[in-house]
Amino acid sequence: MKLSSILSLLPLVSANFYTKDPNVFELTAQNFDEIVLHSNQTSLVEFYAPWCGHCQRLKGEFSNVGKHLKDIATVGAINCDVASNKKICSKYRVEGYPTLIGFRPPKFNLDDNNGKEKKFQHATEIYNGPRKTKPLVSFVTSRMKNYVKRIITEEKLLNWVKNFEETDNERIKIVVFTKKDKLSSLLKSIAIDLLGIADVVYFPVRANTVITEFDVDKDSDKAELYVIPNGNLNEKVKYTGDVAKQSIVEFLTQFESIEPQISKVLTTLENREDIINGKKKQSKKSKKNHEKDEL
Ligand SMILES: *[C@@H]1O[C@H](CO)[C@@H](O)[C@H](O)[C@H]1NC(C)=O
């Protein structure tokens, strides 16, 4: 074989794994901080090298993890063979491939002004469990911060709504009535995107729960989401769209008091897909085979 034809094979060997993947960010030295560190969402990052056999075998499974966590957390991968990425790989002391690291943001305290001054630093945690979708997904979801309050009586719920005037903030209130006792990861993730814009509570509904102010169907399995602007129950609006993050955020753009901020969140969500693969078409396809999340 001529040297030139050997060289022409080389780019294939060092090609990035996830450039075309609609759900996994192909991270670089340029976008790493923005996507992983400047975020209140939990991230899972795979540090890999294209020539590594374990990395090649993990590829399909890791794409699957990305698909499962699409609306819930950030899933990214960084090619440590690329010269400009090496600094980041050594910053996180990556010695073997693949290395999977969870990035946990600290809890943000909205009512603590001093908190804003504090240095914002993510905790890192090496994942050593089985490299399978299910345990990887639960690793990530178990490390998400929770900003969703649980309220179990209507009296307490009404008090929480009324508190609007006292707390002197522009945040709108969102309440999700659910037949499940456990808070969903999707709702947790939505609350993180809405930090500082909306306060979110969830209300587990049982057969004997008394609810008079909201039109909740106790016989239906579906979660029901209400938005209450201005602390005024009479202005509440029921959400009836898809159980998907982007549709819920789109719905929220109609509320004037939060419109500029919510538009920003929406743009970020839309750009997320652009950042990941640069193509809108592909992301549409991914939506179709993305498994349904539930609130
Ligand atoms: C977390 O959310 C708060 C409230 O929106 C924001 O001020 C802060 O900058 C966020 N942190 C990061 C690292 O994005």
Centre of ligand 1 to C-alpha 108, Å, is 7
| For ligand 1, atom 14: residue with the closest CA | 39
Lowest mean pLDDT among 14-18, 66-70, 130-134, 156-160: 14-18
Q: Is the distance from the beta carbon of residue 40 to the nearest atom of ligand 1 less than 6 Å?
A: yes
Contact partners, residue 212, CB within 8 Å, separation at least 6: 154
Taking only the tens place, the pLDDT of each residue in 88-105 is 999 999 999 999 999 999
Is 195 close to ligand 1, i.e. is its CB under 6 Å away? yes
87 vs 232: which has the higher pLDDT: 87
pLDDT at residue 72 greater than cutoff 60: yes
41 lines ligand 1 (CB under 6 A): no
Question: Does position 270 have pLDDT exceeding 70, yes or no?
Answer: yes
Q: How confident is the model at residue 46 (pLDDT cuts 50, 70, 90)?
A: very high
Distance between CA atoms of 202 and 133, rounded to whole angstroms? 27
Task: Report the nearest-CA residue for atom 1 of ligand 1.
Answer: 40
Burial 99-135 (b: 16+ CB within 10 A, else e): bbbbbbbeebeeeeeeeeeeeeebeeeebeeebebee
Ligand 1 atom with minimal separation from the 38 CA = 13
**Ligand 1 centroid vs 261 CA: distance in angstroms?**
12
pTM score:
0.87
Phi-psi region at 278: left, alpha or beta (left = phi > 0; alpha = psi -120 to 50): left
Q: What tens digit of pLDDT does each residue of 142-184 get?
A: 999 999 999 999 999 999 998 765 666 678 999 999 999 899 9
More confident residue, 253 or 120: 253
